A and B are shown apart, each in its own frame.
Chain A
Amino acid sequence: MVYALPFIAVLLAHGADPTPLDWDEALANLVKFGVTFLLIGFMSYPILEPLVRDQSEETGDLASGGKEPSKARGETVGWFLVAGALVLGLGWWLTRTSLVEVMAEEPVVKEEHAHTQEVGGQVAMWADFHAEVVRIESGEVRIYLRDSYNRDIAARFFESEVSPFSEENEDDFQSTEPSLNDSYRFIRLSTDDKRYRIKVSTPGWTTTLKFEFDENNGRRSLPIWCATK
């Protein structure tokens, strides 16, 4: 049992990756942890108190029978030490990690503004949003939205409308639908349309972007076909 002590210390003496923790979150964690162990200590003491009382004061013998009182007492002290080491270890682990996180500076995560295409379309950026628009040869237009770190934003969190674009005609915006896996919005237009104005709306933001495909400046349409051309 004594040999278990260093094992517990090693098990719990582990720090975690330092990422910043707000003071209120750190305080909430410490209150939650502190209260739980205060409860255990406070409420368990009256029950465990006979164990720490001097053996000679006890009227009864140990139920375990054959053991010498000094040996039984040693066992009790040993288990108390294990329990104490466990609680202290966990407390130390939490305190250390909390302090490191509260005092650590915000790590500088590099934002991704290289306008990298993820799915072979054209990328435009406004505020901290990236929109990537893909045209399929069938005339389908797909709009993907990402944040400034190029992490996907699900289709249910933005709206978009697409209008074929020409200098002569007025815009005729049509709504898009979310894809089944919620990763992009899409609409199928005529295969003759290759220039679009696309309105993308998130709460508080709406922007209109112009895209051109298969021309001198634009990206090629993707040759994805599920049927005969």
Chain B
Amino acid sequence: MELSQYFATWHPAFVHFPIALLFVAVGLDFYGYLRQDEKALWAGNALLIMGTVGILFTFITGNFAEIWAARSLIPQEPLSRHESFATICSWAFIALVAVRSFLQTRPNVNLFRAYLVAATGALYALYLTGAQGGRLVYQYAAGVKGVEPPYRATGLELANLSLLNTPDELAYSEMMHHIFGWLVLGLAFWLTYQMLELPGVERLRAMGPILLSAGGLFLMIFSDFDAFPLSNEKPITDPEVLAHKIIATMMIVIGLGTNLVRKRKGVDVSSLQAHLVAVLALAGGGILMTHVHTGAPYSETAIGVYLHHFTLGTLALLCGAVKLLELSLPHRTRIWNVVWVLLLFLVSGALIRYNEGIPWFMRFLS
């Protein structure tokens, strides 16, 4: 069995975790709100975080399942609809985790009520996603072995499946990942320098945010050679282009904001900064794991890209977890800082060694 086919078999197993965890999480939040039960609220928050991480892993295993469903010639329209609903519900729960974690430190009754209403809506989106996924199996026989698909694959769909990336496209994508690997390496060294409090640290403090903003501006222009401003071939609504432009905007805005705050004396924002980085790591992990490849969606290249994103997304979520630990166990800040920098070195290494295809560190399995 191919590696990606093996990961595809995880999708029907993983899908139960977010469904169970998130329904119980919101149920506990309702209970905790009505009975003013702190323990129920704490458990609701913990389950919400676990369920949302579960959604992201379910999403990326779903990408593998999509590849194999398409190869067994399941029509593309219901696959694409299931994917859209999954995107809506994943991002709704990412937002809810952010709001909920903020409410843990700064309680606000009205905001909590709004959270409960939004969470109910997100649960409905989760139900619809599950229902669409169920239809794919029961109605279209996706993933069912030994049967002919009940709906015929058209010539159009078979021709779409035959599309391949050109060597130019692959080389450009690899180059961009390598450039950003070096940028992350620069940021990791910058943080190490600060952590070790080496001479001239004050002067260097501005470098990180400047590097981040400059990288964001570069990404905004050069993210996709077949999208604006380099070309008009792909619009911003293409999921891949949109993900790149969102990341670019995040980098520019955060770089600007951090440099502005840095100029103020007497403003201690370290805990809030840790909180922000944790949430942004969750968003970054979300972008990586819900990043759907277009152009040649069912090719070997897409399988390799999803495997890389699986690794990078997990590292991003670990970065977020470290920052959350920093908030809950602040007396161990030194350890969290070391782990944080190590994770950044790992991310930079994964980007610098990035290749369009089966990742180099998994080739022995395939």
Residues of A within 8 A of B (CB): 11, 14, 16-17, 19, 21-22, 24-29, 31-33, 35-40, 42-44, 46-48, 50-51, 58-64, 72, 76, 79, 82-83, 86-87, 90, 93-94, 97-98, 101, 127-130, 145-149, 151-154, 157-158, 202-205
- Contact status of A128 and B232, CB under 8 A, knowing A47-B261, A101-B237: no
**Chain A nearest CB, measured from B4 CB (Å):** 16
In the complex, chain A residues whose CB is within 8 Å of the CB of B149:
203-204
Q: A153 to B155: give the CA distance in the assembly, Å.
A: 8
B233 nearest in chain A by CB position: A17
* B155 x A203 contact (CB < 8 A): no
In the complex, chain B residues whose CB is within 8 Å of the CB of A63:
262-265
Interface CB pairs A-B, < 8 A, 23: A16-B234, A22-B84, A25-B237, A27-B84, A31-B88, A35-B91, A36-B250, A39-B94, A44-B276, A47-B273, A47-B276, A50-B264, A59-B266, A64-B263, A79-B260, A86-B253, A93-B236, A130-B155, A146-B159, A151-B162, A153-B158, A153-B161, A157-B73
**Chain A nearest CB, measured from B95 CB (Å):** 4
* B159 x A153 contact (CB < 8 A): yes
* B275 x A43 contact (CB < 8 A): yes
* A32 x B246 contact (CB < 8 A): yes
B 269-309 contacts with A by CB, 8 A: 269, 272-273, 275-276, 279-280, 283, 287, 290
Mostly, the B contact residues are helix
Chain B 204-234 near chain A by CB (<8 Å), digits 1 or 0: 0000000000000000100000011100111
Is B102 interfacial (CB 8 A cutoff)?
yes
* B159 x A32 contact (CB < 8 A): no
Contact of B98 among A42, A64, A90 (CB under 8 A): A42
Number of interface residues of B (CB under 8 A): 68
**Chain A nearest CB, measured from B238 CB (Å):** 9
B155 nearest in chain A by CB position: A147
* A39 x B159 contact (CB < 8 A): no
Q: A61 to B237: give the CA distance in the assembly, Å.
A: 45
B246 nearest in chain A by CB position: A36
Is B343 interfacial (CB 8 A cutoff)?
no
B 114-169 contacts with A by CB, 8 A: 148-149, 151-156, 158-159, 161-162
Is B80 interfacial (CB 8 A cutoff)?
yes
Is B11 interfacial (CB 8 A cutoff)?
no
Q: A210 to B245: give the CA distance in the assembly, Å.
A: 53
- Contact status of A46 and B152, CB under 8 A, knowing A28-B88, A33-B242, A101-B237: no
**Chain B nearest CB, measured from A6 CB (Å):** 15
* A152 x B263 contact (CB < 8 A): no
